[in-house]
A and B are shown apart, each in its own frame.
Chain A
Amino acid sequence: MEFNPCMKHQLIRKTVREFAESEIKPHVSTLDRESRFPWDIVEKMKPLNFFGLQVPHALGGAGLDTISYAVVIEELSRVSAAVGLCVTVHNSVGIFPILEFGTDKQIKRFVPPMARGDSIGAFCLTEANAGSDAGGVETHAVEVEDGFILNGTKIFVTNGGVCGTVLVFAVTEGEDRKSNTGVFVIEGDRPGFSVGEIEDLCGMRANPVSSLFFEDCWVPKTNLLGRLGQGIRIGLTALDTGRIGVAAQALGIAQAAFEDSVSYARERQQFNRPLSKFQTIQNYLAEMATAIDASRLLLYRAAAQKDSGRPFSAQASMAKLHCSATARDVTDKAVQIHGGYGYSKEYDVERYFRDAKVTQIYEGTSEVQRMVIANSILSQPR
């Protein structure tokens, strides 16, 4: 059993950290304050393969393994969780299902522009009456002679405001709703598809999360991913992969909050000595470091499990559950250590605190993660 990162993963971490600190960090507060998507940074990220992390070289991607992918998302999110979010959603639930369930023709048609970053990906399942319960989806696809006609509204779509390729989860005709589901690939310029207003959210404000509307949106049959009836399976597989990304994102946020707290505790003087000399603060730092380390191990185990080709659903859920709880707890302590300054936008910990919460909600709430883990335990033979 090897716990030390290999040279490749170290180099990937340094590479992404250098880029994130040089090109993203100087703008991150402004992007958050102005709720602005960083198109100029995206342009710089395109040639470095950030938008095709696990796409094979032949299709224009970086061909990374899943641990490398997690390291990339962690390091981006350490500087900007909103940029990390864009990249992880694009790569995991945007591209991965096409690579996994698409035909050769679909892969060659949709993946290369996404891998280049020319078309940003999104995945939409959540609706006004369906979130954790995927069976409650009301967006429907009616089969016609030459394709499908989609009608419905999706909400809280990450990358929604900037997406060029959207994977839409919809139900088709039939009594058994769960077995009559499908995932359709919709191009951003397709008639009948439109983007709603950008949501005014607590955190991740540089990511344009929005509603998406489908009004008599016709798509050819070649835009159906996999087969009709595979929707739930595609959705769950996409979410398993997405959970590794969100876990990495949560870990990156926690790491940033921890580093800022250590440095503040060393500098800030109270009662004529630095905060780091107070045992209470030391205890906070020790708890933060331990939780982060445990999260990292869970995350890399889930990623390694996926790379080995073994089932990784429960491991991904455990990683997501623990990493997001860690992010929430560590950012809370970070604000506490910073005191009044931590509650001010003058310091980054306030942003980390806002960004962390949603990692317990999207890509399956913490409650759903517990359901997945429990099902995995209870489905084992006695």
Chain B
Amino acid sequence: MKTSIKKMTGKWKRPKIMLKIIVCIKQVPMVSELPWNPKTGTLKRELAQGMMDPSSARALESALQIKETKGAHITAVTMGPAMAEEILHQAKALGADEGVLLTDPGMAGADTFLTSRILAAFIQEECQGFHLVLCGSQTSDSETAQVGPQLAEELDIPAIGFADQVEINGREVEVHRHVDDFFEILDMDLPGLITVDLSAYKPRYLALGGVEKAFEHPWIRRLSARDLGFDEKFSAVKESPTRIIDVYSPTTQKANRVLKGAVKQVVDQLFEEYGKVISSAMGKDLKTHEHDGV
């Protein structure tokens, strides 16, 4: 009798729900030194060769690894001009199931607040029943790290930033991250949003066969501001509350300092003054090793 119950329970399976992942990616200029538009404080992107932002690539890599282990449907979405379509083909070539380009003259010049609103409008309108949104922690062109958290706020879902590792466990996600001198392990209910740190998930190289296959079915969904429910006069640049006051290249100043004296004195002084910096760089507390027979 027990055996037959086992058999019966064995036959009954909860219908498997395909995990729906949305990866927000961005095309950034390939070179760091680019002319700026002094009036708007934005990059002259038309002069640049584009590439997938490195932290977006890591967010995509984390999604691909989830897909490989748990199965998932990955939607790669980007907001940008027509040339940004290239990174959607790249995402598809890597293993994303679909690519969506949010493009409209009215979206140009959006700050992080408007970008989050537009992305949120897309997810709410077109991705009902989604489980996880993945973003890069910060893009290489502006480094604000604002879009991910703002998008979570717009969608009213929980968020974790700067993840090193993302693991799906049923309806929850476990996130490992390195914050200051600590490693944290966090659980979060789904749906939720995670931004993936630049140091995590080394992106895989694109296989050439993947590129060819992606272009055999080159369809990329294009949605305008109107498609997402914004009115005809929508102008992100006008509605963006952020005003860029100044943009300039940072200058780095190095000041070399030579510690003088006996070896022990110099080493003591070095750890006294720079111990925290060295500990942080090495990722371990050096104080525990200070009397290791030296």
Contacts and interface: CB of A to CB of B under 8 A. Distances in A.
Pair from one complex: yes
Interface of A: 7-8, 10-12, 14-16, 18-19, 44, 47-50, 52-53, 57, 61-64, 68, 72
A61 to B, nearest CB: 7
B212 A64 contact: yes
B85 A62 contact: no
Contact of B211 (A12, A44, A47, A50): A12
Contact of A64 (B51, B85, B205, B208): B208
B208 A50 contact: yes
Given A14-B51, A48-B205, A8 B211 contact: yes
Interface of B: 51, 85-86, 89-90, 93, 205-209, 211-213, 215
B212 A7 contact: no
A63 B211 CA distance: 10
- Looking at chain B's contact residues, the main secondary structure is helix
B223 to A, nearest CB: 19
Contact of A48 (B51, B89, B207, B213): B207
A303 to B, nearest CB: 15
Contacts of A15: 205-206, 208, 211
A64 B212 CA distance: 6
Nearest to A53: B208
A371 B16 CA distance: 67
A61 B93 contact: no
B207 A11 contact: no
B52 to A, nearest CB: 9
B210 to A, nearest CB: 8
Contact of B208 (A7, A10, A18, A72): A72
B207 A63 contact: no
B209 A12 contact: no
A12 B51 CA distance: 12
A11 B211 contact: yes
A62 B86 contact: no
Specify which of B89, B90, B208, B209 lies most central, judged by the most chain A CB atoms within 10 Å of its CB. Answer: B208
A334 to B, nearest CB: 22
Contact of B89 (A8, A18, A47): A8
B89 A7 contact: yes
A47 B207 CA distance: 7
B90 A11 contact: yes
